[in-house]
Structure 1
Amino acid sequence: MKASSSPPLKLRNYTADDEEAAIELWRRTWQQAYPRIDFTERVPWWRERWRNELVPVARIVVAEMDGILEGFVTVDPKSGYLDQIVVAPEFWGSNVALMLLDAGKRISPALLELLVNKDNARAIAFYEKNGFSYVGEDVNPVSGRPVNRMRWRP
C-alpha cells in the first residue's frame, strides 16, 4: 500500500473555535505581504473588527489541512462584498486561493465585489484571471491606501 504524500485540503464553514487561528493567519499573511507594516500591533484592532464587523454579517469558509487553518474567505451574502481572502504564505501559488474564491462565488452566486490594494499586483492578476473586472478606484476606508474596486458577475 502506497503512503499518502499529504492530507487533503478541506473547505468547511467557520466556527467560533477558529477565531484565534484565523486572526493569527491574517496577521502572518499580511505581515509577509507588507513587511514594512507592523501587523502584530494591529491585532487588537483586527480582533475587534473580526468579531463585530465580519463574523456577524459574513459567511466565512476556511481551508484546513490536517487540522491547521491554511486560509479563509469572508463574503457578505446580502451585498456580495468579499472582504477577505487570506491564504497562508506557504500556500501562495497553490490552488487554495482559487478554492476559497470558488466558495465565495457559491456564497454570492450573482455578484462578488472587493477592494484590492493598487500595489498588490499578484492579487489583481489573480482576480482578473478569475473573471473579475476593474470597476473604479477607491481609497480603503481603514488604511487610507489607494485600491481598485473589482467586480465579478457570472
Structure 2
Amino acid sequence: MARPGLVSPRIVPRRDEDWPSLLELWVASWRATYPDIDFDARRDWLRQQVLRLERSGSRTLLLREGAPPATIGFVVIDPATHWLDQLCVHPTRFGSGAAEALIEAARSISPARLRLDVNADNRRAVSFYEREGFVSRGEGAPSLSGRRTLIMEWTSALLPQS
C-alpha cells in the first residue's frame, strides 16, 4: 500500500508531451549499461523508431509514479506480432520491480506470446528475461552498435500448469 501523499506506480499510454522524459530515461538507462556509447546522439533514432512502430500498431506504455508523476520506465509492444521492441527502466530503479511491472503490462497486451532481441553481453537483461520465463530461440541480427543479439521468447504455454 502506498504511503500517504505518494502516488502508486501506474501504467499509462505515451502522450506527445512525454517525449522529453522518455528520451532522457532511455539515454540514462543505456548510458548506465554501455557507457562507451553516445546514446544522446541516438535520441532522434529512438523517437523515429517508436513513432514508426506506433504507426504500425505498437503501443508505448509508460510506468509513472510520484506526485507530480515521473516516468520511471517504458515498454513498446506490438500486439499483432508480439514483438517487444523496447523495455527501459531508469537506472535509479534497476532492481525495483519496475521492469517486472512493464513485462506484466506487455503480457496484458500480448497474453499468449512475447518475442524480443537482447544484446547477448547484457547479462543483467538476459538474466532478467530468463527469470521472467523467456527462453533463447537463437541469434538475432547485430544491434546498431554491432553487438551480438539473442532472440528470446516467452509463451503462455511455458507457464507451469496447475
- Distance (Å, rounded) in 1 between the aligned partners of 2:24 and 2:54: 16
Aligned to 1:45: 45
Q: TM-score, normalised by structure 2?
A: 0.86
Cα deviations by residue, 1:49-85 (Å, 9 ceiling, x for unpaired): 222x233231111101121111001101110000111
- Distance (Å, rounded) in 2 between the aligned partners of 1:47 and 1:15: 13
Alignment RMSD, CA only? 1.6
Task: For residue 40 of structure 1, give the secondary structure of its aligned residue in structure 2.
Answer: helix
Q: TM-score, normalised by structure 1?
A: 0.91
Aligned to 2:133: 131
Aligned to 1:55: 54
Cα deviations by residue, 1:75-117 (Å, 9 ceiling, x for unpaired): 0111000011100111100111000001001111111000000
- Distance (Å, rounded) in 2 between the aligned partners of 1:149 and 1:47: 23
Unmatched runs of 5 consecutive residues or more in structure 1 = none
Q: Percent identity?
A: 36
> Does residue 1:98 correspond to 2:97, yes or no?
no
Number of aligned residue pairs? 151
Task: For residue 41 of structure 2, give the secondary structure of its aligned residue in structure 1.
Answer: coil
- State the 1:11 CA deviation: 1.2
Cα deviations by residue, 1:14-63 (Å, 9 ceiling, x for unpaired): 22221221112111111111100011112222222222x23323111110
Unmatched runs of 5 consecutive residues or more in structure 2 = 157-162
Aligned to 1:119: 121
In the alignment, residue 4 of structure 2 is paired with which amino acid?
Answer: S
C-alpha contact (below 8 Å) 1:105/1:112 kept by paired residues:
yes
Aligned to 1:77: 79
Aligned to 2:64: 64
In the alignment, residue 53 of structure 2 is paired with which amino acid?
Answer: L
- Distance (Å, rounded) in 2 between the aligned partners of 1:45 and 1:15: 18
- Distance (Å, rounded) in 2 between the aligned partners of 1:13 and 1:50: 13
